[in-house]
Structure 1
């Protein structure tokens, strides 16, 4: 596999000491995306010669705090925590759209709670990870229904805490993603999805962000990374995996999902292609606009104290542009 990846990517074969000299800590979450199969395959390490330390976090806010501490160089975060990080001056760059959230995040009300529409949430207890894309969508949904935060009780919980609170009956509703979403839906009712709100102008996404200085010194690694992610996404799009696929087993193992639930979870997202990444629809324009609008929302909610003068500074197409110029690996290169 290493020889094939080296041949297809056009990279020099890593020497014996390469992995020891080149290391990166990559913060990921539990979103059910094709990238998890790539993580499990070891293809990134083989193609680059880097030692990759994969660290799982409970939410984008935790990822951003780890990056701010200097202990993480690359991380997965939603558009809301990325906007918050940029507003706080963290020197990061968004270089890849991991997914368009679409219907992968949903507001679910407990069966028997009497909630069938957002307006019914008045006086109810709702759990959501604060400063996440789901939090942003929840507040937007409440505002759209004429409710303010004082009209409901919102609890800040990480996904595993939400699952436990739901099972105990402590909360009436949650705005969350898989694998927790799949656990709460059988005993709840979907009230609204992120996709519904996106169609009304409140789009959200998950992206990969990198420390700017580290990116400048390790550009080849990032280019190889996005080539491999693009190839994995393309392989999935060409032939979506069934529950028995080895890729599904890898996704389930990393995310904590049940294998039987993974295919439906994957289908809820949209994965922009390598060609689409740098277009005006994503890194070439809309991503900076989304960060700008999200940051303004966060400031209005008191989650950030000030706004950055230009959110476009925190978005780059350079890595994707470089990846498009070179050969892209096929599934056999993994």
Structure 2
């Protein structure tokens, strides 16, 4: 009798333990996230290398590197990533296609970090010299958008030259072979081709003409709805490393831990990282939430940028339709809560 009771007691405990383990496994599975990133030089790479995001959020994070924002958007649309970095042009394209995502953070104002560089000896010294030349650019990227905008401002069209769709690594290889006359690209490729090329125009100048570009963190709406606490902690961590960089920007050297981490994650050398990161503008919470960027709904800068970019992409037949309201793809709520949590 006692033996039977002991057996029953042991069985009950075993079932309870199994149930606890199953719940634990289920919880662990729920605390996983896949996040995409690209090769831009920014403080986020330091947090990736040091596993700061995992430490602060408690989530297991699978990081996926993409060569372009277009590929990152495709992965998000397929449900392969929960959050990802992309440029404003592919984000605008995604919004115009009605993909269920939202912009939650401005990774960086691109400014001088993207530029149209022409190869020494190509015979290009002014915009008019672009006629008949081969210029490489990743299609549906921020540089593609600015390349088309630049041509418009120069009084040229795509028919006046040959635009070639190439990813950054392919651009560097084509440049070395002498297959192209120029490229509109970002670092680390930008720094490499500048070594035997000259800058014709940068995104900062084109932005001052009314078409600014930026890199942003976007997230699946389904994911943010179920993981608000994670998103808030993630943005708090991102803001902290951005702030750390901005505070020490002038004193950062190739020996600085952040420079080494960024070079390790992206590729390239720490010296190049130091120079390249100075070309970007990184925003604090007040900047993020200002009317210039995520704030002010339909009148906010990010919303207006997505709308104007989409209008340009439609004109160039890169998308087929526009959304009536782009503010539904810009959500400052998580940044607001991250700021309030400080």
TM-score, length basis structure 2? 0.90
Matched, 1:28 2:42: no
Matched, 1:235 2:244: yes
Distance in 2 separating the partners of 1:117 and 1:217: 52
TM-fit CA distance, 1:21: 3.6
Worse-matched range after superposition: 37-46 or 125-134: 37-46
Matched, 1:97 2:112: no
SS at match of 1:107: strand
TM-fit CA distance, 1:227: 0.6
Matched, 1:123 2:138: no
The correspondence for 1:268, drawn from 262, 279, 294, is 279
- 1:178–1:265 CA contact under 8 A, matched in 2: yes
Distance in 1 separating the partners of 2:237 and 2:128: 44
Segments of structure 1 that go 5 or more residues without pairing to the other structure are: 1-14, 328-334
Cross-structure match for 2:228: 219
TM-fit CA distance, 1:16: 7.7
Distance in 2 separating the partners of 1:203 and 1:118: 20
The correspondence for 1:256, drawn from 247, 250, 267, is 267
- 1:178–1:257 CA contact under 8 A, matched in 2: no
SS at match of 2:217: strand
Once the two structures are superposed, what CA deviation does each residue of 1:95-133 show, in whole Å capped at 9, x if it has no partner? 000000000000000001111122210100000000100
The correspondence for 2:255, drawn from 244, 253, 256, is 244
Cross-structure match for 2:198: 189
The correspondence for 2:337, drawn from 306, 322, 329, is 322
Cross-structure match for 2:6: none
Cross-structure match for 2:213: 204
User: What is the root-mean-square deviation in Å for CA atoms of aligned residues?
Assistant: 1.2
SS at match of 1:33: coil
Cross-structure match for 1:58: 67
Structure possessing the higher radius of gyration over alpha carbons: 2
TM-fit CA distance, 1:189: 0.8
- 2:56–2:237 CA contact under 8 A, matched in 1: no
SS at match of 2:62: strand
Distance in 2 separating the partners of 1:199 and 1:298: 19
Matched, 1:283 2:294: yes
Distance in 2 separating the partners of 1:138 and 1:320: 31
Misfit runs of 4+, over 2 Å: 15-21
Cross-structure match for 1:157: 166
Once the two structures are superposed, what CA deviation does each residue of 1:283-316 show, in whole Å capped at 9, x if it has no partner? 0110000000000000111110000111110001
Segments of structure 2 that go 5 or more residues without pairing to the other structure are: 1-22
Aligned residues: 313
Distance in 1 separating the partners of 2:222 and 2:34: 14
SS at match of 1:103: helix
- 2:119–2:182 CA contact under 8 A, matched in 1: yes
Distance in 2 separating the partners of 1:40 and 1:196: 33
SS at match of 1:53: strand
Cross-structure match for 2:15: none
TM-fit CA distance, 1:20: 4.4
Distance in 2 separating the partners of 1:107 and 1:46: 39
TM-fit CA distance, 1:260: 1.2
